[in-house]
Chains A and B, each alone.
Chain A
Amino acid sequence: MLGRVSRRGILATGAATLAAPALAPGAHAQGSAARIGLILPLTGPFASTGRQVEAAVRLYLRQNGESFGGRRVELLVRDDTGTAPEVTRRLAQELVVREKVRALAGFGLTPLAFAAAPVATEAKVPMVVMAAATSAIVQRSPYILRTSFTLPQVTAPIAEWALKDGIRNAATLVTDFAPGLDAERVFKERFTAGGGQIPLELRTPLRNPDYAPFLQRVRDAKPQALFIFVPSGEGAAVMKQFAERGLPEAGVRLIGTGDVVDDDILNDMGRPALGAVTSHHYSAAHDSAENKAYVAAFTAAHPNMRPNFMSVGGWDGMHLIAEGLKATNGAGEGEALLNAMKGRSWTSPRGPVTIDANTRDIVQDVYIRRVEERGGQFWNIEFDRLPQVRDPGT
């Protein structure tokens, strides 16, 4: 083996010399398209996240002409199946090395974003996290920007609201991975600091969860409310068991982050979801001109889908990249593109947002909403707003 390699070594040197120009990063021909690598879970248990984000990104490009700062954007979409972080990492590596993308984007779940972060750092390519929501993600690489939300950011408001509404005794049910633990920790801190009690803390597995036994335990404990966080797409299964185990009859109110009453599947949940109060950064029912136009365009392109909070992360992520390209006259890449994206503010369908120049994390309004029936459909109707909430940090 060694002998063969060393004899081949001569050839290797020759071939490497030939290959070197092709491999050198940043060898963009003038006028070529700016490639954006979009890595999402498009199959598997978290496919709804990928579908929503991809639909929104494509919608943005269709509506805004695909060229920014004189540079056409070319989208390269890859499926990482949602549960295989090493695939996410390999795809990120390939997109950077082979396709020479200007920016990486997408990232459906926290472990996937964690796995890709070192690639962004080493390749000096901006990485726009459009979905994953663990607080610590932006610290994993100085090239990460986030246009989704963080769990602590949207959890603190619901804890405060529950206390204000007279709830003193609440159980928690979260998915057992980083965002769930973020949510559990922040809810517990805020709720107990305000005099609330938490008699029961439950964690469900990320893969193949069965919610029935957990919710049975909640029913037996009979708290005033149950705080829930589950990843986008899981809400329907939780809600079904919530109703079947008779928790509403037992007087247990459902509160949580907006993930559980995901707009994408809220209509399928139907009546059991009515009255659930959650805090989140986006509702398809948000009352603004920008949002009305967004929802109309989205549903026109996808008649069977309603845009959810994942889609708006994709929309704003694409907007951020487009603005970065415009600000650098289409030439921006690496550090320059990153700096052009930091500190931007705009009015998103969800309301006013800012990408903090120092933390690279999103600052946005968080709303308290209640599930109501309007015109035969179920919506998260916003009734309170906390302006410009930052991630309270880890």
Chain B
Amino acid sequence: MRLALEAGFWLLALASYWLLPDQLPLLSQIAIGALFVLSLDLLVGYAGVLTLGHAAFFGLGAYAAGILAQQGWGEPLSGLLLAAVLSALLGLLTAPLVLRGGDLPALMVTLGLSLMLGEAANKLPGLTGGADGLLGVEIWPIFGLFRFDLYGHTAFFYSLAVLFLLFLLARLITAAPFGLALRGIRGNARRMPALGTPVRARLVAVYALAAAYAGVAGALLAQTTQFVSLDVLSFQRSAEGLLMLVLGGLGALYGAMIGAAAFTFAHHVLSEMSPLFWQFWIGLALVALALAGRGGLLGLGAAALRRWRA
């Protein structure tokens, strides 16, 4: 049953190409958003480390891939790799600062770091283009075969493929003893050393892993839109990521992806229907969902499934 649902989810994701052939840019954006929320889920949902500045890694990845392409090396996969490595490094460097105190200090430190990075990008127009954005990003065809086209065919399959592979990896990781240890740490960090789990090392590792995931998501956005702006580092991106995660369901990989899809889709439909007041409707929907069900959309779905079976 579970396997059938999972297969159905990915088949639906793939089938969206034919179901919504005119919406490919939006679908790519959903896949990229899903990867970003997946990364947040590893950190917040599994390990219980709170962050308000996850966009820092997303932005670093975006600028890394964008600048690499702008400087004349437009091969997409190496751009993803560079983004992952740099973001993971930044994660390793900043992990000691973030993991030092409790939840509130972590929120403040992550927020502070992302603000610093955003301001640095703003003040280095020679490197990042500043507030005008990074111009002249040219991405070569994937494997030299698939050109990034105006209709977004290539961008769609590329984003979805990267999301799928990284999802498989995340699924392996969370099912492995490493993932179980993370859940244990979230449950009760003080008792985990008694089971022989090095709490700190696990948290640093998952922080760097989540950073790398976010970096890849940023790189995907830079490559598929061939443009990078300061927006990639904005607080709003961090906050929306958390919103999507809570919306979909914390601590479940599918919840992260469903949340990203539902939020982006609702955002798109509502802003098209009423360009001036869409933010009001989004707010209303969020409040309604928070009151209606715990565990987000995934929780609601699971409850419905149980009722149907009973």
Contacts and interface: CB of A to CB of B under 8 A. Distances in A.
Interface residues of A, number: 39
Contacts of A27: none
Contacts of B234: 83
A110 B14 contact: no
B164 A110 contact: no
A115 B229 contact: yes
A119 B14 CA distance: 25
Interface string B225-237: 1110111001000
Interface residues of B, number: 37
Contacts of A177: 130-132
B226 A85 contact: no
Nearest to A23: B151
Contacts of B279: 43
Nearest to A76: B272
Interface string A111-132: 1001100110011000000000
Contact of A83 (B23, B122, B231, B276): B231
Interface in A92-117: 93-94, 96-98, 110-111, 114-115
Contacts of A78: 271-272, 275
A134 B122 CA distance: 18
A116 B306 CA distance: 47
Contacts, number: 95
A97 B150 contact: yes
A205 B135 CA distance: 19
A79 B14 contact: no
Given A19-B18, A79-B275, A89 B227 contact: yes
Interface SS of A by simple majority: helix
Contacts of B132: 110-111, 114, 134, 177-178
A93 B135 contact: no
Contacts of A83: 231, 234
B227 A42 contact: no
A110 B132 CA distance: 7
A84 B227 CA distance: 11
A43 B194 CA distance: 53
Contacts of A178: 131-132
Given A97-B150, A111-B133, A176-B131, A90 B25 contact: yes
Given A8-B14, A93-B152, A97-B22, A86 B229 contact: yes
B276 A97 contact: no
Given A79-B275, A83-B231, A177-B132, A1 B165 contact: yes
A43 B122 CA distance: 22
A79 B278 contact: yes
B306 to A, nearest CB: 30
A191 B14 CA distance: 60
A296 B164 CA distance: 58
Contacts of B276: 42-43, 79
B69 to A, nearest CB: 13
B21 A22 contact: yes
Interface in B222-249: 225-227, 229-231, 234
Contact of A114 (B21, B133, B272): B133
Contacts of A205: 122, 131
B271 A89 contact: no
Interface string A63-82: 00000000000000111000
A114 B227 CA distance: 9
B130 A15 contact: no
B133 A115 contact: yes
Interface string B149-162: 01110000100010
Interface in B263-292: 271-272, 275-276, 278-279
Interface string B165-207: 1001000000000000000000000000000000000000000
Contact of A122 (B122, B150, B229, B271): B150
A197 to B, nearest CB: 26
B98 interface: no
A176 B26 contact: no
Interface string A15-48: 1000100110000000000000000001100000
Interface string B130-150: 111101000000000000001
A84 B275 contact: no
A19 B19 CA distance: 10
Contacts of A89: 225, 227
A256 to B, nearest CB: 19
Contacts of B23: 94, 98
Interface of B: 14, 18, 21-26, 29, 122, 130-133, 135, 150-152, 157, 161, 164-165, 168, 221, 225-227, 229-231, 234, 271-272, 275-276, 278-279
26 contacts: A1-B165, A43-B279, A78-B272, A79-B271, A79-B278, A83-B231, A83-B234, A85-B133, A90-B29, A93-B152, A96-B150, A97-B151, A97-B152, A98-B23, A111-B131, A114-B133, A114-B135, A114-B227, A115-B133, A122-B150, A177-B130, A177-B131, A178-B131, A205-B122, A205-B131, A207-B131
